[in-house]
Amino acid sequence: DAGVIQSPRHEVTEMGQEVTLRCKPISGHDYLFWYRQTMMRGLELLIYFNNNVPIDDSGMPEDRFSAKMPNASFSTLKIQPSEPRDSAVYFCASRPGGFSGTDTQYFGPGTRLTVL
C-alpha cells in the first residue's frame, strides 16, 4: 500500500517567491494534517482537515500560509511570499476516521524547504 505521498521532497527558493507543497493522503483516510519541523520547536501542527474541510488552523503562523484540500486525495500548503525563517521540513500526515485505539497518524516523508 502506498503511504502518504509528498512532493517535492526538496525545495529551494528565494525570499519573496511563492512555494506550494503537495500531499496525497492514504486512500480512505478522513483526516489530513500539515506539520512543520524545526530544531527549536520540534513538530508543530499547522492545520488539519476532516473530510476535506479545514477544522483547526490555529497553528498557521501567518497569513502568508494557506492550505487547501479540494478533494479527498489531494492537499496543498502554500507560502506566499516565502521568507528565510520558513525554512523547515514540512510533513503531511493522515489518519482514518473514528477512534483507532492509538490515534495513530501516518506521516509522509516530508518536504525540506530552504528559503534563501
Partner 1 sequence: DQQVKQNSPSLSVQEGRISILNCDYTNSMFDYFLWYKKYPAEGPTFLISISSIKDKNEDGRFTVFLNKSAKHLSLHIVPSQPGDSAVYFCAASSILTGGGNKLTFGTGTQLKVEL
Q: Which residues bind partner 1 (CB under 8 A)?
A: 4, 31, 33, 35, 39-45, 48, 50, 55-56, 91, 93, 95, 99-100, 102-110
Locate cell 477512534: which residue?
Answer: 99
Nearest approach, Cβ of 97 to partner 1 (angstroms)?
10
Residue with Cβ nearer partner 1 (41 or 62): 41
At its nearest, how many Å lie between partner 1 and the CB of residue 42?
A: 4
Residue (79 or 92) nearer to partner 1, CB: 92
Query: How would you label 41-67 residue by residue, b for 16+ Cβ within 10 Å and e otherwise?
Result: eeeebbbbbeeeebeeeeebeeeebbb
